Chains A and B, each alone.
Chain A
Amino acid sequence: MEKSQEEVLWQTILGEIELSMSHATFATWFKPTELLSIQGQNLRVLVNNFFAKNQFEKKFDEQIKQILRKNGFSSPTIEYIIKGKRATKEETVSEKTSSSPTEPSTTKNPTGLNPKYRFDNFIVGACNDLAHAASQAAAARPGTKYNPIFIYGGPGLGKTHLIQAIGNEILATKPDWRVLYATAETFGNEFIDYVRFKKNRDFGKKYRDVDVLIIDDIQFIAGKKSTQEEFFNTFNTLHQADKQIVLTSDKPPAEIPGLADRLRGRFQMGMAIDVSLPDYETRSAILEAKAAALGAHLPTELIEFLADQIRTNIRELEGALNQILAYSEMRREEPTIELAQGLLGDIKNSRPKHITARQIIDKTASYFDLQISELCSPARDRYITEPRQMAMYLLRSEIKMSFPKIAHELGRKDHTTAIHSVEKIEREIKINARMREQISDLRERLYV
């Protein structure tokens, strides 16, 4: 192989230097070096560590320059670079943006947005495709399409990811737009500081002088009269100016207790969409995407195992994945199902190992304030039949019970009733947000 210009020059220099010093000195300092680049008169030399850098700068610099002058450099300058630093630094930055499982830090960034939340790393499934589509529409045409966008659902289901993605997407296409993300708690605290301690003089300006306002966990302002009043005014100012407003909550507007009616009305003006528990396929896809983002490879069985074990929310799913990856990195062991079982013992043990048919029926009945006898009775009132159908659906989806057994458990004679019910709910949850929510609530209750 032909030698590069750098290699040839460096060998010339080393050859001459070797003659001027003891073998040990040469071996210690010069052997591990490399000439990285020549740019005009400027050379960049790779050295071992900062002791070497120091030594070269203070002791060898002039000697090397003298040789360079003999080799056609009139006024050489040399930059000494420590090995490994350049490459890993870039790595550190990119790792940080993708791997931190903690809440975004909002202290330094004036927009409050965490750049790691983007649409392209949001996994879409049946549980969130509507919310995802609406968010994308809002990001594409902010302030015009749906205003406000109100996304609701349980903890750890990706609400924050979605709404921050709206902000990041808008900033990517319209860098001069003022986008502000804050939690309702921050909004409330800053408001109190402003009123009580006369701090944050630009409070009103901060929230009203924006093109896009994104407020997370809006249910926090419920029950706080003056904070709600302030938010109401902020909302109106922005809405009238066609500024995009994005909100999240753990419940739909109609169900947030202690929320002023006029705010409730405002929140329902645009589009209120839920995100629900991801199904098995979505959970697997999330795990795969997350592992890929971390540069890890997980065996398919392990992904299937985790997706099957952890059903409550995405945060817990990612937590388990991070834990397994950290362990396997530390022990230098391949991640396996056995490893996951050992490590996640606490997650599994904290919930019933086997959900029984009885538990599903119990929980469904109590969720809908029904007696078990009512649920299993022949009654055909709608307020009983629907819960009954949902119980059948859960018996099928959660414990894979056979249709004849499902029918039997709920006091039906014919298993086609069970088939019909399960299919009906499967159809229904795709189009009916209320029912989707009830099912995911029920699931959560089963597993918590």
Chain B
Amino acid sequence: MKVTLTQENLARALNTVSRVANSRTTLPILSNILIKTEDGLLVLAATNLEVAITEKIPAKIEREGATIAPAKLITEFITNLPKTNLTINASDNKITITAGNYKSVVNTITADEFPALPEPKNVGLIKIPATILKKAVAGTILVASSDTTRPILTGVYLHTTDGDLYMAATDGYRLAEKKVLSLTKEINTIIPASALSDVVRILSDETKEVIMSFSDDQVSFVIGDVTVTSRLIDGNFIDYRQLIPTKTDVVATLDRNEFIRITKISELFARESAGSITLKVDASSSTLSMHSITSELGENNSIVEATIKGSGAITLNSKFLLDALNQIDGENVKLQFSGKLAPALLTADGDDTYKHIIMPVKS
């Protein structure tokens, strides 16, 4: 194989695909990037056998072919080169890369061993504006579990209900649901959170939309010239909607920034209690107060004004609360709960397309 292309294109593509190349797998070839010519373009690909990323970039092809190169080495080498044209000349066991005065020879093995790349299936196509996808993924992967003994919770659940597409995730302690867009197709699937996080990291400011396509066992995201393909998680997701409170005894609406500020302050005094802070909502004084205590350091009591319906108290984890507040858009946040054990619901005031639920700490 012999190709010539710009350093910029190659460096960008290498950085995109190399994130899934992993040197810690049982299969050493997976720490490599596949570089091959296809239909007049240069294709770069890497996979960890859960997710595969490929990118097609323009190149002047002098001799067709394929080769593999160690992901880390080649990505760093190309990234550090000056912006110039470079030539890749690959033979059976050597890749020679020349760019002006720079020349490297990298040892390689035959590309035949590289796993077959999945082909996106053009079924169940959905177009999602990049900004919407980014927001929905950020809001949900945050609460996806990392506990691999419960595989379904390590994914984000995509489903359509009454003509709308929703994304939801939970780790057993909190739960988030985002209404993504209206959709007539029926979807009911679980995508690994890690794959979604790969997808949003690839999105640039110029990306307008992402095209998703599904088949029984795989999902593909087409982002311009990049395709991310992932396995799906097998199983049935938890009937999580049962846990979203609909009617609560207490409703407090308050300024989001104020809420974040007092939570951060309270958190300082909640280290000993593993982040437990107690929120008291008082209708008669129209305030929400937060209390946290650490026997060595002391304690804190912060009060903020709020619009209140019903009085009550609940103990929440401060990190979970901050995570939720950071994901909620809008000037004012609505906190709703009933009793000490029932889940608390956080939404933006006047917009419940994003619902964040936190299970209280038993106190």
Interface residue ranges, A against B (CB under 8 Å): 24-25, 27-28, 49-55, 57-59, 82, 84-85, 88, 91-92, 95, 99, 101, 319, 322-323, 325-327, 329-332, 338-339, 341-346, 349-350
**B 239-274 to A, binary, CB cutoff 8 A, 1 in contact else 0:** 111110101110000000000000000000000000
Tell me the minimal C-beta distance from B266 to chain A in angstroms. Answer: 23
- Chain A residues in 8 Å Cβ range of B343: 343
Can you pick out 10 interface pairs between chain A and chain B where the beta carbons lie within 8 Å of each other?
Answer: A28-B26, A51-B50, A54-B118, A101-B242, A325-B239, A326-B241, A326-B242, A332-B172, A346-B249, A346-B339
Report Cα–Cα, A282/B49, bound state, in Å.
53
Q: Which of A51, A57, A92 contacts B47 (CB 8 A)?
A: A51
Q: How many interface contacts (CB-CB < 8 Å) are there between A and B?
A: 111
B217 touches A25 (CB 8 A): no
Report Cα–Cα, A95/B247, bound state, in Å.
27
B200-257 with Cβ < 8 A to chain A: 216-218, 231, 234-236, 238-243, 245, 247-249
Interface residues in B, total, Cβ within 8 A:
44
Q: Which residue of B lies closest to A326 (CB)?
A: B242
* With A99-B239, A323-B242, A323-B243: A25-B340 Cβ-Cβ less than 8 Å: no
Q: Which of B173, B217, B241, B338 contacts A49 (CB 8 A)?
A: B217
Q: Which residue of B lies closest to A50 (CB)?
A: B217
Q: Which of B27, B115, B239, B339 contacts A349 (CB 8 A)?
A: B339
B243 touches A326 (CB 8 A): yes
**B 173-196 to A, binary, CB cutoff 8 A, 1 in contact else 0:** 101000000000000000000000
User: Counting chain A CB atoms within 10 Å of each CB, which of B28, B242, B248, B339 scores highest?
Assistant: B242
**B39 interfacial contact with A, CB 8 Å:** no
Report Cα–Cα, A82/B170, bound state, in Å.
26
A85 touches B234 (CB 8 A): yes
**B 34-48 to A, binary, CB cutoff 8 A, 1 in contact else 0:** 000000000000010
Report Cα–Cα, A428/B182, bound state, in Å.
53
**B 114-138 to A, binary, CB cutoff 8 A, 1 in contact else 0:** 0111110000000000000000000
B339 touches A51 (CB 8 A): no
* With A341-B341, A342-B339, A346-B339: A327-B243 Cβ-Cβ less than 8 Å: yes
- Chain A residues in 8 Å Cβ range of B28: 24
- Chain B residues in 8 Å Cβ range of A341: 341
**B296 interfacial contact with A, CB 8 Å:** no
- Chain B residues in 8 Å Cβ range of A323: 242-243
Q: Which residue of A lies closest to B119 (CB)?
A: A54
